[in-house]
């Protein structure tokens, strides 16, 4: 296995077809897992929410990423942790912090982050409510991307059900020298919890249909052009 840099367009294709959210979000960097000459997953980093950028750290003087999407269909049990670990080392900003979440609604508690030594800061419940449309649950940000600004008012006017959001387990990873990592830890505004949450190991079931590297735009989709 190996990990190489990839493009926004390719990540968008994978996420829209294979991730339960169907949306990419604000894209900064993306990486692809290659196994036996075929694509076996993608890891996407983007812009964290404005409130996180503002409040997660005191006097932040380093880049803050969010690991926004992870889609892996390799059958190798170490594929997810391998992709994440290699991707973190390949980020453009070497002095950086990364935040990511494990969605309890999907039965996740962040086992892959635990396996790659992220720090755990609890499971906050986001403000706002999700909207049920035709039996499918939509996050407020998804509706915003669809051009619906006042989601609660719109939902009530159109007879859609509002439901409370479930907690999401929040993890951080620090990139940099030992001194830089210590400095980021000291600036973190959240309490670091000693114990990771436990849950039954489960992964989102993505299609296992293979994608040959050479089939993607003549093999050029992965190049950082």
pLDDT value of position 108: 78
pLDDT at 143 over 60: yes
**Domains of the chain, start order:** 2-125+166-219 (3.40.630.30)
Q: Are strands 119-120 and 129-133 parallel, antiparallel or unpaired?
A: unpaired
pLDDT 10s digits, 181-207: 999 999 999 999 999 999 876 554 455
The pLDDT mean for the chain works out to 84
Residues 15-43, mean pLDDT to the nearest whole number = 89
**E strand or H helix that includes residue 145:** helix 140-145
Among 75-79, 128-132, 161-165, 199-203, the least confident range: 199-203
Q: Residue 13 is encoded by which pair of tokens?
A: 């294709």
pLDDT value of position 206: 52
Order across the sheet with 136-138: list the strands: 136-138, 129-133, 161-164
Region label for 100, one of left (φ > 0), alpha (ψ between -120 and 50) or beta (otherwise)? beta
Region label for 2, one of left (φ > 0), alpha (ψ between -120 and 50) or beta (otherwise)? beta
Surface-to-core class of residue 112, CB atoms within 10 Å of its CB (0-12 exposed, 13-18 middle, 19+ buried): buried
Q: Which residue has the higher pLDDT, 224 or 215?
A: 215
Q: How many residues does the chain have?
A: 225
Using CA atoms, how far apart are residues 37 and 222, in angstroms rounded to an integer?
Answer: 13
pLDDT 10s digits, 97-113: 999 999 877 677 999 99
pLDDT value of position 147: 80
User: Rg (Cα) of the chain, in Å, rounded?
Assistant: 18
């Amino acid at each position: 296995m190996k990990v190489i840099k990839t493009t926004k367009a390719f990540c968008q294709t994978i996420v829209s077809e294979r991730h339960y959210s169907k949306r990419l979000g604000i894209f900064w960097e993306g990486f692809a897992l290659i196994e036996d000459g075929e694509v076996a997953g993608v890891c996407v980093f983007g812009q964290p929410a404005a409130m996180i950028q503002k409040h997660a750290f005191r006097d932040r003087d380093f880049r803050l990423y969010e690991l926004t999407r992870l889609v892996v269909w390799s059958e190798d049990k170490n594929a997810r942790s391998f992709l994440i670990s290699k991707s973190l080392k390949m980020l453009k900003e070497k002095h950086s912090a990364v935040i990511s979440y494990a969605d309890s609604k999907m039965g996740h508690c962040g086992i892959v982050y635990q396996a790659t030594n992220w720090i755990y800061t609890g499971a906050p419940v986001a403000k706002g409510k999700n909207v049920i449309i035709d039996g499918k649950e939509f996050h407020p940000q998804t509706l915003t991307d669809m051009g619906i600004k006042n989601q609660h008012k719109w939902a009530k006017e159109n007879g859609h059900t509002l439901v409370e959001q479930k907690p999401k387990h929040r993890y951080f990873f620090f990139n940099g020298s030992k001194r830089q990592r210590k400095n980021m830890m000291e600036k973190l505004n959240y309490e670091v919890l000693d114990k990771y949450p436990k849950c039954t190991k489960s992964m989102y079931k993505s299609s296992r249909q293979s994608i040959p590297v050479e089939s993607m735009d003549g093999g050029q989709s992965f190049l950082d052009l």
